[in-house]
Amino acid sequence: MTLINLQEPGEHSNCGPPLEESSGFSYEPKIFMDNDIYFYNFKWKDFCDISLNSLIDIVKVISFGIEQGKVAIHCHAGLGRTGTLIAAYLIYRYRCEPRKAINFVRSKR
């Protein structure tokens, strides 16, 4: 199992559950890692884009995670960054047309 967190530590500190002081998230990543779950944090700033190289790096981590089992991806609200990343993975892995990948992701929400 692989967990991909796209949040920046401390992001939206006044929205949702209280943040853990040591991680800056609403949970401690160590809990997952102690249970043999791969944890990655890519610090994708909310409402912003990232470089193509960074996006490809994250998509490669998703590919690795899928080879190992299952992958969970989250940002804060699960709409912008998470959806964009899943669509990018579909384009990378299955050579989907971008519009079809976006529509597919939207249809699964």
pLDDT tens, residue by residue, 53-63: 999 999 999 99
Mean per-residue pLDDT of the chain: 93
Cα angle: 17, vertex 40, 15; to 5 degrees? 20
Q: How far apart are CA 93 and CA 109, in angstroms?
A: 21
Write the pLDDT tens digit of every residue in 31-49: 999 999 999 999 999 999 9
* DSSP conformation letters of the chain: -EEEE-PPTTTTTTSSSPPPTTTSSSS-HHHHHTTT-EEEE----TT----HHHHHHHHHHHHHHHHHS-EEEE-SSSSSHHHHHHHHHHHHHH---HHHHHHHHHHT-
Active site residues: 75
Question: Within 10 Å of residue 71's Cβ, how many Cβ atoms?
Answer: 20
Taken in order of first residue, the domains within the chain and their CATH numbers are 2-107 (3.90.190.10)
pTM as predicted: 0.88
